[in-house]
Structure 1
Amino acid sequence: MTRTRGRIAALLGAVAVAVGTTLATPAAGFAATAAAGPAGAGGGGITGRAPCRDAPEFVCGTLAVPLDHGGRTPGTLDLAVAMTGNAHAPKGDLLFLTGGPGQPGVPTIERMASRLEPVLKDYRLVMFDQRGTGRGALRCPGLQEDMGSSDLALPRKQSIADCAAALGPDARFYSTADTVADIDLLRRALGDHRLTLDGVSYGTFVAERYALAHPGHVARLVLDSVAPPQGFDPLDLAALPATARVLRDACLATGCTTDPAEDLAATVHRYGNGAQILSALTGYEFIDPDYGAVPEILHEAAAGRPAKLQDFFDLVHREVDAAPAEELSQGLHSATLCADSRFPWGTTDTPVADRAAALERTRQRLTPEQTWPYDAATATGIGSLLVCLDWPREQVPPAPSEHRKLPDVPVLLLGGDRDISTPYEVLQQVAGMAHDPQIVIVPGAAHSVQNRAANPAGRQAVYDFLLK
């Protein structure tokens, strides 16, 4: 470790982070892989059921689904599925949906079963590796190296081009609409009329899209760290101003004596590195939801001493963002977001040559009120946005109307007041789409409340909601 890294380690304290640790894997042969087959093939039952290789208390198997649910392109995908053994649980199946897009489900069933243990007498927990994740991950080595597990890290143009070329025209079969169709085949394979869905981060988006597409097949919804069903905002205009609130609240709680929001604004103005700071902060919230080292780092950078800020970037990239495709596939992440999202230039069906000018027009229209303590260049310089700026043109699935409401079923919306990635301002917007939502904001919690919050209030709210 260099002397500068030693200073940052002393400032931040010992850090031991396990991101996407594999806790259970299916037995050999349960990987998600593409296989040749007739158009429309797949969609049968869950085959090869057996104890999971590394966690035999759970049952693993494979669900075959069509590569193309429209039936025009041949091929199938084998998706790994894992579940608890209580097949006849009185409240049916609880499908937990992981985040990303790009995270698998099967490797984390042991962890999620421990988090949800109080409800598992009433529910069978089911998890699956969404298409393009886990052992069937879409692999883009350059993009994986550049971005790891980050949504926001800045990729090289060559990495984007190489990824798009590697995935080819089949990239269009990895949208959320395809995953929603997979879930309905999974529901039928499980023998369910209705599913209870518990999603975190991108998993909330999948759960909402499933509920809108199949309202009669949803019993309850738990939405943790909520994304809107219309899609992620590629400019992140909720997270930008929310950063000031989060950092000031954390500063107040920890007794810091500076104004981290003002220092952040001064740092962005001085160095023009807002997108890099936003990426680092959204990663660092997994290490420390109090952002304890951040005010000092920003204060020094604002004063023209950026050494600790650079060490901070290095730390987050090394300890949080670095991840192999099996833990979070950046190939899948890119294919899905580029298919799902609505950008300043429209959709990915817009000619590539027309996109940069549209993005620049948007940058010029953004106001300080929309972006402070960052700037307009931050909003238009986010990594996932830049991936899709250069992504090849393709047809994209239609998005639901922003005026559609979620089905009239019980909905719990869960968030942390220290979450920058999906700030609770977004949660409150989505609550307006539910008929009678229950809202729980957990003090001191950052992203992924059920998994990571020290405060147990969020998990208890989930137990109470599911056991009603």
Structure 2
Amino acid sequence: MPRARLATRFRTATRFRTAARFRTAAVAAAALLLPGLNPSAAAAAPSAPVPRLAWQSCAPGFECATAAVPLDHRDPRGRTVDLAVIRRPATDRAHRIGTLFYNPGGPGIPGTMALPAVYPALPEQVRARFDVVSFDPRGVGRSTTLPCFPDQAAEQRLLDRLPQGFPEGAEQQSAWASAYADFARQCAANDRDGLRAHLSTADVARDLDLLRQAVGDRRLSYLGTSYGSYLGATYANLFPQRVRAMVLDSAVDPAAWSTGRTPQDRDLAPFLRTGSDRAAARTLDAFLDRCGGAGPQACAFAAGDGPATRAKFTRLLDRLGHGPVALGDAAVGRAAALTAAQRLLYAVAPVPGVDGTGWPGLGAYLQQLWTAPDAPSAAPTGGDLRQAQTLGVLCADTDNPPAGADYPALAALAEARAGATGPYWLWQTQRCATWPASPDRYTGPWDRPTSAPILVVALTGDPVWPYEGSRALADTLARGRLLTVDGYGHTVLGNPSACAAGYEERYLIGGRLPERGAVCAPDRQPFAS
């Protein structure tokens, strides 16, 4: 179907969204009454008790605690939820500055698991001068979570109805929509404490401000990667005078993500509004070009040069489109392969000690699929467990086309503009079609003057949040500064640059920003030995 007809078809199918837009306007109006959004209202509102953190040893070198915070920040002395918190004390106690809070993003990644893994990658002087603290946001990990299912087996039975990766074809698309509508009903039916209405990033930002007070810091020092940048941008605009220093690494454009920047954006799903589909396509093309140029010794999937390798990839997808292949005990189809490939684009270099990672790992994976025998013709099924920990935040923060919208037409539009990986990004947030946005969410403004400038760091070849989104955030923030890393991968923390780390260290410790227009190189280029 021509692209123009796809767009017309989709606009016609979504005209009935007027009622949903009135609901969104009401949500935005109600949000103005929440503490932190309106300075005069915040001053008059009762304050929540500051959590008491009883630190105890947990992972080697780390300490853990539990913080009680309000379920509903509009009722600050009402029912509470628990947050799991982790800390690594500053190594130079005599010159300690304070606490650096870290959020790994996701949404849905537990900070208590992420911090021990990434701590060695932080600049040495940052580790010396700061206690580094992370936490599992409400609804995630060991914090209070949404009880959608009585046990994992019940959740797995529902998810077994799903195709791997994302749906292809009318039958799979219908099954996907039906399964996630049931998923949303399960979560609503079992949420007796009302947590589902209080899982937005704005709720988490208010929790973060209480944690800042709990550790005794007058202002917040913060590092957020990926979706953690959305938490940082939200905090900076809810509490603009409480920012000491903030690094937002591989950032989402918050206006595009939450509501869209134009009226036409409202008919698109969030990842299409941010351009994640196009960013993934550009990075995949770069991978195939670099793989072909590196040759089969460095990239197993190489086929002579870049164009030949791209042609080989097209033939692989054509084969997988006719039926799955057998990879070990698994049957891998086209959508599952594209989903795995998308995730393996995140890191250019292999993760030390972890086989099959980085761009070389992606080359090896694609070559395994290329040589694999055909699997039985039955479509592979299954979905990731604990999706409520992602969907609780993902759906709370965003305007999404409703369940009655023409999602197949949107998927076709995504494929027309971004190639084979495009539909992956559409179906990730179709899961939110029957899940209401949070009444507590924050939708702007995003340009409130902050007490300190904010540093946005971004890779030019990011396959998730495109570089343009980080640039838009830096331009939108009242006091933003962009530091560019000219390389590939998702997050500079995961694709290190000594140059960028030096800038971040000087900024976090002494408040010194990079010069305008500063550009760094990554430490590793794709397929470098």
- Name the TM-score, length of structure 1 as normaliser: 0.70
Pair 1:100 & 2:106 matched: yes
CA distance in 1, matches of 2:84, 2:374: 41
Q: Which residue of 1 is the match for residue 136 of structure 2?
A: 129
For residues 420-441 of structure 1, what are the alpha-carbon distances to aligned partners after superposition, in whole Å with 9 as ceiling and x for unaligned? Answer: 1222222122121134544334
Say whether the 8 Å CA contact 1:65–1:79 is kept in structure 2: yes
Q: Conserved in 2, the CA contact under 8 Å of 1:143 and 1:160?
A: no
Q: Distance in 2 between matches of 1:129 and 1:368?
A: 35
**3-state SS in 2 of match to 1:219:** strand
The number of equivalent residue pairs is: 396
CA pair 41-439 structure 1, distance change in 2 beyond 3 A: closer
- Unaligned segments of structure 2, at least 5 residues: 1-45, 168-175, 259-268, 294-301, 323-332, 350-357, 511-529
Change (3 A) 1:282 1:139: farther
List aligned pairs for 1:40-439, cutoff 5 A: 43-50=49-56, 52-55=57-60, 57-71=61-75, 74-86=78-90, 90-116=96-122, 117-136=124-143, 137-138=145-146, 141=152, 146=159, 157-158=178-179, 161-162=182-183, 164-166=185-187, 167-168=190-191, 169-230=194-255, 231=257, 234-236=270-272, 238-254=275-291, 255=293, 256=302, 257-259=305-307, 271=321, 276=336, 278-286=338-346, 291-292=359-360, 325=386, 330-345=387-402, 355-357=403-405, 359=407, 366=413, 371-374=417-420, 380=426, 382-383=427-428, 385-391=429-435, 393=436, 396-401=439-444, 404=447, 407=450, 409-435=452-478, 437-439=480-482
Aligned partner letter, 1:178: D
Q: CA RMSD in A?
A: 4.2
**Matched position secondary structure for 1:373:** helix
Find the residue that maps to 2:391 and give its secondary structure.
Answer: helix
Aligned-pair CA distance for 1:191: 1.9
Superposed CA offset, 1:116-172 (max 9, x none): 23213322212122112222344654667959xxx9756674365246424534311
Q: 1:88: how far off? A: 7.9
SS at match of 1:421: coil
Is contact 2:70-2:79 (8 Å) kept? yes
- Note the C-alpha offset of 1:264: 6.4
CA distance in 2, matches of 1:162, 1:225: 30
* AA at the equivalent of 1:356: G
* Equivalent residues of 2:284, 2:345 under 8 A apart: no
- From the superposition, tell whether residues 44 and 409 of structure 1 become closer, same or farther in structure 2 (CA, over 3 Å): closer
Amino acid at match of 1:389: A
CA deviation after TM superposition for structure 1 residue 456, in Å: 3.8
Partner of 1:465: 507
Q: Percent identity?
A: 24
Determine if contact 2:289/2:310 at 8 Å carries over to the other structure: no
The Cα shift of 1:218 comes to 0.7
Question: Shift of the alpha carbon at 1:205?
Answer: 0.6
Q: Which has the larger radius of gyration?
A: 2
Asked whether the equivalents of residues 298 and 309 of structure 1 are also in contact (C-alpha less than 8 Å), the reply is no
Question: How many angstroms does 1:216 deviate by?
Answer: 0.5
- State the Cα distance separating 1:206 from its structure 2 match: 0.6
Gaps of 5+ in 1: 1-39, 346-354
* TM-score between both structures, scaled by the size of structure 2: 0.63
Contact in 2 for aligned 1:250/1:418 (Cα 8 Å): no
Does structure 1 retain, via aligned residues, the 8 Å contact 2:280–2:463?
yes
SS of the residue corresponding to residue 46 of structure 1 reads coil
Residues in 1 aligned to 2:431 and 2:365: alpha-carbon distance in whole angstroms? 29
Contact 1:204/1:227 (8 A) holds in 2: yes
Shift of 1:61: 2.0
User: How far off is 1:224 after superposition?
Assistant: 1.2
